[in-house]
Amino acid sequence: MPWNDQNGGGKGPWGSGGGSDGDGKNNSPWGRPTGNGGNQGPDLEDQLRKVQDRFKGAWGGRNGRGSGSGGGGGKGLGIAGVLLLGGALAVAWISTGVVIVDAGEQAAVFQFGKWQRNLSAGIHVHLPSPIESHVVIRVEEQQEVQIGDRSDESLMLTQDENIADIQFSVYWKIKSESPQDYILNVKDPDETVQMVAESVMREVVGKSELQRVITDERSEVANQVREQTQALLDEYRAGVDILDVQIRRGDPPGPVIQAFNDVNVAQQDAEQVINEATRYSNQVVPEARGEASQILQNAEGYRDQVIANASGEASRFNQIYEEYRQAPRVTKERMYLETMERVLSRMDKTMLDNNAGAVPYLPLDRARGNSSN
């Protein structure tokens, strides 16, 4: 180009001399000395041509269709390729700010590594990377951690100084209200949940007796472990929601399980005997109480009868005494006659006349027979 002419007759784009003047000094395109003698700065056209040469292979060779040897057609195709490449890179860069969140997922958006907001299901846009970035996680997917498959995990000491062999499962998921805590604070979620749940289980078992851990009360132990594990993870801001804890096995250690079963059988037999004795007691005691109540009622009736008779006799005596006090002689005779009537009315009687001269015949054998009857 004219201003790139290295000979003295070249002119700049505004008509000023761009080469050497009469004194042999080089001038810049604005007519000022460059200060570097004959050496000038890098040419813009040369730089564009170098970029064109680098990407020429991707656009079909150095010379385009109908172009000459390095003419203007090649230069135009190279600029177009650079523009297309730049546009593609720009689209790719902008696309880093587009996030698609499916159902059951949430996305956390970070600006230069600092959490900004959470995104629910749908299509969202944020500033491109590296200004803002996002992490998509599944918050509705249930995870399971099994603890106690190894003996160093399963053997736990109880409050009554026994050893329990515990195997249990922990079911958890990511908290939908705070997925950023899960992303930022938890490196290995399964290991974290396992360590916390195992520690809590050892604490709960250590405060419980063996019989409570291995019997039907194990559900209460599991609920207690779930609550304490959730509280500890919330304190760590782990972003984990403990759904359930299930104790799959709770037994004494293998070497002593037979002896423990024998003890359980003996306890069951003792409970059976106690239940039978209780049932017999429930049957006999009410019967005995009924009989005692009947005896008391009979005694009370007899008492009332005796008292009534005695009261009647006393009242009758008082009446007789009152009559006797008023007429003693008549009362004596009446009492004598009533007594004789009452006595003689129950036996056979023989009447004798003192003035009769004949001796009466008394059939004593018949009288004895009647008296014996």
Q: What is residue 36's predicted lDDT score, i.e. its pLDDT?
A: 41
Going by C-alpha positions, the residue among 188, 186, 189, 217 that lies closest to residue 204 is: 217
179: its two tokens: 């997925």
Least reliable range by pLDDT among 102-111, 179-188, 234-243: 102-111
Taking each helix axis from N to C end, the angle separating 44-55 and 72-95, rounded to the nearest 10 degrees, works out to 70
pLDDT of 312 above 60:
yes
Other beta carbons within 10 angstroms of residue 369's beta carbon come to: 10
What pLDDT, in 10s, does the model give residues 68-125?
Answer: 444 444 444 478 877 888 888 877 887 777 777 778 777 888 888 788 787 777 788 7
Q: What is the reported pLDDT for 366?
A: 64
Q: How confident is the model at residue 48 (pLDDT cuts 50, 70, 90)?
A: low
* Confidence label for 45 from pLDDT (cuts 50, 70 and 90): low
Name the more confident of 200 and 103.
Answer: 200
Per the CB < 8 A criterion, the answer to whether 185 and 237 are in contact is yes
Is the model's pLDDT at 183 over the cut of 50? yes
Percent of the chain with pLDDT over 90: 24
DSSP label at residue 64: -
In angstroms, rounded to a whole number, what is the distance separating the alpha carbons of residues 203 and 197?
A: 10
On whether the CB atoms of residues 49 and 43 are closer than 8 A, the answer is no
The dihedrals phi and psi of 53, each to the nearest 5 degrees, come to -65, -35
Phi-psi label, residue 240: left if phi above 0, alpha if psi -120 to 50, beta otherwise: beta
Instruction: Report the mean per-residue pLDDT for the chain.
Output: 76
pLDDT of res. 185 = 85
| DSSP helix/strand/coil, 161 | coil
174 Cβ contact list (under 8 Å, min separation 6): 137, 138, 139, 141, 182, 239, 240, 241
- Separation CA 34–CA 27 (nearest Å): 6
The per-residue pLDDT for 260 is 74
Q: Which residues lie below 8 Å from residue 15, measured CB to CB, with a gap of 6+?
A: none
